[in-house]
Amino acid sequence: AAGVIQSPRHLIKEKRETATLKCYPIPRHDTVYWYQQGPGQDPQFLISFYEKMQSDKGSIPDRFSAQQFSDYHSELNMSSLELGDSALYFCASSLSHLRTEAFFGQGTRLTVV
């Protein structure tokens, strides 16, 4: 079965650089979520989109922005990267933004040096 696809899987950037993470949800899923997981921590919610509109916002820094496109894929744009942004970034998708379970991609491991 098709799963959530994230690219790239690994990314190394220098401080103050920008990065773009991409997420392709499971077909027919209308909701996309972004989470950040630091080393040894639980995933922290960043932002979500339902039918291409932002539906919920968590602890996403102002330096980050995201959007969901007409084909439902989503991109997380990160600027002025800091060492503390090094983390595993997960995208998840679900059939509905309220009731159903979210299926996660394999994550993008971002390392800022």
Partner 1 sequence: AQKVTQAQTEISVVEKEDVTLDCVYETRDTTYYLFWYKQPPSGELVFLIRRNSFDEQNEISGRYSWNFQKSTSSFNFTITASQVVDSAVYFCALKAGTASKLTFGTGTRLQVTL
**CB neighbour list of residue 40: distance below 8 Å, 6 or more residues apart:** none
d(CA 21, CA 106): 12
d(CA 37, CA 69): 24
- Closest distance to partner 1 from the beta carbon of 16 (Å): 27
Assigned token pair, 80: 């002025």
- Closest distance to partner 1 from the beta carbon of 43 (Å): 5
Q: Judged by CB, which is closer to partner 1: 7, or 55?
A: 55
- Closest distance to partner 1 from the beta carbon of 57 (Å): 9
- Closest distance to partner 1 from the beta carbon of 24 (Å): 15
The residues that touch partner 1, with contacts defined as CB under 8 A, are 31, 33, 35, 41-45, 48, 50, 55-56, 58, 88, 90, 92, 97-107, 109
Q: Judged by CB, which is closer to partner 1: 73, or 109?
A: 109
d(CA 19, CA 80): 9
d(CA 80, CA 78): 7
Q: Judged by CB, which is closer to partner 1: 42, or 62?
A: 42
Please state whether the peptide bond connecting residue 61 to the residue before it is cis, i.e. omega within 30 degrees of 0. Answer: no
Q: Judged by CB, which is closer to partner 1: 41, or 80?
A: 41
